[in-house]
A = this chain, B = another copy of it.
Amino acid sequence: MAIGEFDLIRRYFRPLAGEGAFDLTDDAAILQLGPGEELVVTADMVAAGVHFLPDDPADTIARKALRVNLSDVASKGAKPAGYIMTVAFPRDVEEGWIAEFCRGLAEDQREFDTRLLGGDTIGIASGLTVSITAFGKVPAGEMVHRFGGRPGDRLYVSGEIGCGAAGLRLLLGETILGPLPPAARQRLIGRYRVPQPRTALAEAVRACASAAMDVSDGLIGDCDKLVAASGCGAVIHADSVPLDPDLVTVAKDDSVLAALLTGGDDYEILAAVPPEDEERFRFMAARAGIAVTRIGELVEEAGAVEVLRGGRPMDLARRSYDHGRT
């Protein structure tokens, strides 16, 4: 396109810049912490053909790039505190596309109370890659880890599992889900393109969870990681896992349910909550307006996540979706 990097930044990115970004006119931003605060730092990169489809709307690509990072921040019990973004645009990108991309970011900045701190844009021959480093603040020592879960802790997830994976399958024209009402199709595709980070749940996670992570590569495979870090095992009751209402019937088929439990792109929070904190966790989640569902518990047997349906182990051909497989 005809616009250079400097005009691009001035016209479209500068309006997104917040406190500490110096209007994107310096080489660096400044982040300050209050007394007793620590900074949580996380990064995810998304690319065309890997995390979104090349012809997805520009604003949804931007929002997904930001939201997958906000999801990590929330799962650590942290409050959003700005982000750095680097983007490799195809050289023939149109200015209107970038305007839409930035409009999506502006909307999400308002919704999740965060701000652009800086970054970089480059032009490449083809493809589109967005890398975001997101910051969050927590009181010192209170970041919630993947480790820390103990046998007996209850396993909870926020929202619904499998919507993003279902949306991707619909976009790819796969038929495993059978016919669905048009409204359900649109809703599931929307969940794939624009996940819902559980920022409002961060306080409950920090106050009550012994361990937590966001579910991005599939519930079962991610639970494997949580129990590996925590040195214990887990039992997941597959029939308890919350699903989109329009998927409940088709998910009676084991292979469909397995696809939803291992498909990734959920960006929900998986949290282990000690029994004595369970009531408070449910109360705080309800107050935050986020549905949470108990789906199992941590057990002694180290390293194993058993998935039961009707009391019998489910046969899972795979446990996660590997976005990063190279």
Chain A residues within 8 Å of B, Cβ to Cβ: 1, 3-6, 8, 22, 25-33, 35, 38-47, 49-51, 72-73, 75-76, 78, 84-91, 93, 117-127, 129, 131, 133, 136, 140, 143, 145-147, 213-214, 225, 229, 322-326
Cβ contact within 8 Å between A43 and B119:
yes
A28 touches B44 (CB 8 A): no
Cβ of A28 to closest chain B Cβ, rounded Å: 4
26 contacting pairs across A/B (C-beta < 8 A)? A5-B323, A5-B326, A8-B324, A8-B326, A22-B145, A26-B76, A26-B213, A28-B136, A31-B41, A32-B39, A32-B140, A35-B35, A41-B84, A47-B122, A47-B124, A49-B124, A84-B133, A88-B129, A90-B326, A91-B326, A93-B326, A121-B324, A123-B325, A124-B129, A127-B127, A129-B131
This chain: how many copies in the complex?
2
Contacts of A27 in B (CB 8 A): 42, 72, 75-76, 146, 213-214
One of B4, B32, B125 near A38 (C-beta < 8 A): B32
Cα distance A42–B28 when bound, in Å?
A: 5
Q: Which of B38, B89, B93 contacts A31 (CB 8 A)?
A: B38
Which are the 6 A-B pairs with shortest beta-carbon distances?
A5-B324, A123-B326, A45-B86, A131-B131, A28-B42, A133-B133
Contact of A39 among B39, B40, B42, B136 (CB under 8 A): B39
User: How many Å from the CB of A33 to the closest CB on chain B?
Assistant: 5
CA of A325 to CA of B7, assembled, Å: 10
Query: CB distance A29 to B8 under 8 Å?
Result: no
Bound complex: CA A326 to CA B46 (Å): 19
Contact of A40 among B28, B136, B229, B322 (CB under 8 A): B28
A30 CB to nearest B CB, Å: 5
Q: List, in ascending order, chain B residues with CB within 8 A of A229's CB.
A: 25-26
